[in-house]
Chain A
Amino acid sequence: MIAIIKFPGTTCETDVYKALVEAGVPAIIVKYKDFDPDKYKGVILPGGFSFGDYLRAGSIAASTETMKRVKEMAEEGKPVIGICNGFQILVESGLLKGALLPNLKLRFISKWVYLKVIRADTILTKDLENKVIKMPIAHAEGRYYVDDIEYAKTHMVLQYSDENGNINENVNPNGSLLNIASIANDEGNVIGMMPHPERASFKLTSIDGSTDGLLLLRRLSKWV
């Protein structure tokens, strides 16, 4: 069973749940105070505004007891996936390096983007190396930055690209370092990503009928 954690201001927990059902991955939504790490094989921190995020996205959630328990799971090698605000919580809590700064345009950006899979050694991206996938982003603070460029190069999982997989500034929606949309830890079990795979998991609501989100989420099924 995968736990989808709901903080008070989380908005995407039901969407992630629906997408995991679609992907055939058993999952349950758990309120953050009720989270017991021993009960679950993995955890997803979904998007939203965990505690209103007036200070800095994810900062208050990062200091909760819940995140201490999530850290224990990460250390045990279980999948820990942060999507959007979940990614922000992962970097704020030190589970991933770097920071998510305000978008260069200084405003919320909601749009579908192409992503090139760089690392195929993570839990979500196995066998997908160099594949170009499509899903939406929706965030105000998604500009990934880290002061260690080598770390960035070796840990990035997805880069914003064009539909042919070319990576350049024109297709960088938020000003991220190296067009980074997702990074993971060394082991590839802790993954943070700004794009929303759950929103690219249903033919009906996808912009063009594609369901690339399922390519990633389905890979969780062997962990449950």
Chain B
Amino acid sequence: MGINLLQVEMDEIRKRLNREPDEAEWRVIDAVWSEHCSYKSSKIFLKSFSMESPNVIMGITDWQDAGAVDIGNGWAIVVKVESHNHPSAVDPFNGAATGVGGIIRDIISKGAKPIALLDMIRVGNLKIRKNVWLLKNIIAGIAAYGNSIGVPVVGGELSFDDTYNDNPIVDVAAIGVVKKDRIKPSIVNRPGLKLVLAGLTGIDGLGGASFASRKLSGENEIGAVQIADPFAGKIILDVTLDIADKVEAIKDLGGGGLAVAVTEIANGFGAIVDIEKIPLRVKDMDPSDIIISETQERMLYAVDEKNVEEVCEAFKQYEYPCSVIGEITKDPIIRFRYHNKDLVALPSDLLLNPLRFIWPIRRIKKSNEKTTVQLPPLKDAISVVLSHPDLVSKEWVYSQFDYEVNTSTVIKPGHADSAVIALPNGKLLAVKGDANPDLCYEDAYECGKGIVAEAYRNLASVGAKGIVAVDHLQFGDPKKPEVYYTFVEAIRGIGEATRFFNIPIVGGKVSFYNENSRGNPIKPTPLIVMAGLIQGKLLKNNIEDGLDIVLLGYTHGELGGSLFSKMFNISAEVPKARLQEDLLSSELVIDAINEEKITFAKDVNRGGLIATLFNVIVHGYGIEIDSKSILSDSDNTLETLFSENGGRFIVLTNEPEWIIDRAKSRGVVASIIGKVNRNSSLLKIDDTIYNLDNLVKNYFNFLEEVTNNG
């Protein structure tokens, strides 16, 4: 395992230290300064996000494991998003499982009880058998871990693209709840506290942070993957929440292992750790391996001496290892001692302040080769787009998750555009994660805005108003100027949109070096997870015969980045995120829900209007629509039906006039475009009837069949 530092970093380290670091020290610096832990290519830009708002209790100040916002009645929620892309590419079961474990520990680091998980997964083409294997094992890993610890997976996304053939994207987000005045920091504010470590340290996950900070080599990298032990994770979860009041700070052992955790919890103070006091899973480990091992199910606590015994006693009840391994010192040096000799003695300041880089940025020149393919007939377009795996039922996935444990899941996976969970203070929280790599590939800036707007609309569709977001930015190698350009553009878009909606970003993650085996970066895949509160009524979707179909919002003939343009290889104009349209139509939907004027709401996005309507049809209904009643700037039916521009919702109602009047008074356009009927699987557009029976069957059976044969 090599050191991943750049020459310029090594020179800087020698200069700041005024000496040559020992080998163990190089390994510690490598772990702490890895891209994965230190955000060296991204931090400068991340500072541009809007992180403040009156309800933010803890934002992304440095070294906090997760941010928190006030939700009223003395309660707060904690939100965090993470990925385990590299480990999942190599060992999908353990990679995905440990992703869940890691995010859970981030939440309990705040003393918060995890109440919901979301998984956003992107894998390659399912025609390649390896991708089916990856998918099955990723889902099995999430299920094995999430189910065992009793935190429901309430939602997520699953989509497919060739760009992920070698490098699946496995994102996991978690929500926790905690009494506002009991939130724990992940950093200390005074010396003298004891460092208490729970859990055994092993040889799995060696150099994991460094591994995640470079491209997949294609060689055997299995040793860099951590092994999941959900039962141990459950003990850590239960005990940490039991003892949270007895400790001063809690730190998850994530990337970089103890090297990072000790440095960050000390937060500028120093620390002394005696390596021989660290309980090991394997005998005779190399001392420097112990420092950087990323074995899961470990937790670090800073504890006042008088509480140490009580803290470890709680673990002893479960026969779980717990020991004092060192203490926080006033002297700002991070020391790892082995048999009383310093193996590592590095200034906190050096470790906490890696070099920050702004790499060259080069705008992507889109070769303007408009493919002059002939546009397909509408019938073919419907069939090709609606049978895309992105749009099929994801029941095969969520039925493997224990999504109802905690008896707090109000809207179950697959039932609406957002999940809804009941909170201990009686309020209802809606959550959703959104990404749109096809759009980001076309225009990362518009896409950054677009995914924030989409998440906002998704929450509105159940009656919730967004209050907080976390982001996850996933790109290829940042040193490639074109990749870095998309990264900076996406940040600009996300930042702008979250400011517009007045939603603070309280945490996030950056994952670079996502490339395929030929060195091509993945399509830019920034992701937003947004949470919001239902302040009035909740909408549980319900469809009935005879309801009017009303489209809110204006349809723009912008097919760029759409599923349609991807399937038919057509370049077209990219949809602009007109944020005001998203805000106004979302407010209108929330109004209509509160006044009980609609029974069903769904935002128009992936697959365009057709896909949204298909969502009604799969419930056993038929639909007839009049394409001319769609308010649009295009006369082309393909454009009006397949454009994925924002700002729009489909609602079902028996009071369409109320909706249209209210829309007018709010500056939103709306029109009745059709009606729901009992003619199961039949879609009538103007005078033509399309029988979607086979597409409906494909919708329900696709994932089951493809995974049975894989």
Contact = CB atoms under 8 A, between A and B. Distances in A.
A78 interface: no
A97 B706 CA distance: 37
Identify which of A15, A108, A110, A140 gathers the most chain B CB atoms within 10 Å of its CB.
A110
A202 B422 CA distance: 11
Interface stretch (B54-62, B88-96, B143-151, B197-205): B143-151
B405 A11 contact: yes
A196 interface: yes
A108 B407 contact: no
B231 A8 contact: yes
A31 B317 CA distance: 10
B410 interface: yes
B406 interface: yes
Interface string A20-57: 00000000000101000000000000011101111000
Contacts of B147: 11, 49, 108, 138, 140
Interface string A193-221: 00010110110110100000000000000
B-side interface size class = 20 to 34
Contact of A111 (B148, B232, B399): B399
B401 interface: yes
A184 to B, nearest CB: 24
Given A8-B234, A49-B234, A109-B399, A14 B406 contact: yes
A207 B400 contact: no
Chain A interface helix/strand/loop/mixed: loop
A198 B404 CA distance: 10
B476 interface: no
A71 B412 CA distance: 37
B401 A110 contact: yes
Nearest to B415: A207
Contacts of A205: 404, 407-410, 422
Contacts of B231: 8-9, 49, 51-54
Contact of B407 (A15, A33, A52, A140): A15
B150 A8 contact: no
Nearest to B398: A110
Given A107-B140, A110-B399, A207-B412, A48 B404 contact: no
B422 A110 contact: no
Contacts of B404: 110, 136, 138, 196, 199, 205
B544 interface: no
Contacts of B408: 205
A19 interface: yes
A15 B406 contact: yes
Name, among B230, B231, B403, the residue most crowded by chain A CB atoms within 10 Å (CB to CB). B231
A11 B149 contact: yes
B693 interface: no
Given A48-B150, A51-B231, A108-B143, A15 B401 contact: no
B318 interface: yes
A11 B150 contact: yes
B235 interface: yes
A181 interface: no
B447 to A, nearest CB: 33
B402 interface: yes
Contacts of A140: 147
A52 B149 CA distance: 9
A10 B148 CA distance: 8
A49 B230 contact: yes
Interface residues of A, number: 34
Interface in B158-198: none
B409 A108 contact: no
A110 B402 contact: yes
Interface string A128-161: 0000000010101000000000000000000000
Contacts of B149: 11
Contacts of A100: none
A51 B407 CA distance: 22
A12 B143 contact: no
Nearest to A111: B399
B241 to A, nearest CB: 12
Nearest to B151: A11
Contact of B403 (A10, A51, A110, A202): A110
B681 to A, nearest CB: 21
A172 to B, nearest CB: 15
Interface in B579-613: none
A108 B400 contact: yes
B407 A201 contact: yes
Contact of A108 (B150, B318, B401): B401
A8 B402 contact: no
Nearest to A50: B231
Contacts of B406: 14-15
Contacts of A9: 148, 231, 234
B467 to A, nearest CB: 21
B205 to A, nearest CB: 20
B405 A204 contact: no
Nearest to B396: A107
B162 to A, nearest CB: 27
A53 B149 CA distance: 12
A202 B408 CA distance: 9
Contacts of B402: 11, 108, 110, 138
A199 B412 contact: no
Contacts of B238: 8
A33 B148 CA distance: 20
Contacts of B401: 108, 110
A136 B401 CA distance: 12
B412 to A, nearest CB: 7
Contacts of A53: 231
Contacts of A31: 317
A204 B400 contact: no
Interface string B223-249: 000000111101100100000000000
A84 to B, nearest CB: 10
Nearest to A136: B404
A101 B357 CA distance: 56
Given A49-B230, A108-B402, A110-B402, A12 B150 contact: yes
Contacts of A14: 406
A52 B150 CA distance: 12
Contacts of A8: 231, 234-235, 238, 318
Contacts of B148: 9, 11, 48-49, 52
A136 B404 CA distance: 9
Interface in B308-322: 317-318
A204 B406 CA distance: 13
A199 B234 contact: no
A15 B232 CA distance: 22
B96 to A, nearest CB: 14
Contacts of B234: 8-9, 11, 49, 52
7 contacts: A11-B402, A14-B406, A33-B317, A52-B231, A108-B401, A110-B401, A205-B422
Interface of A: 8-12, 14-15, 18-19, 31, 33, 47-49, 51-54, 107-111, 136, 138, 140, 196, 198-199, 201-202, 204-205, 207
Interface of B: 140, 143, 147-150, 229-232, 234-235, 238, 317-318, 398-410, 412, 422
Top 5 closest pairs, chain A to chain B, by CB: A11-B150, A52-B231, A15-B407, A49-B148, A138-B402
Given A9-B148, A11-B147, 5 more contacts: A15-B407, A47-B405, A48-B150, A49-B234, A204-B422
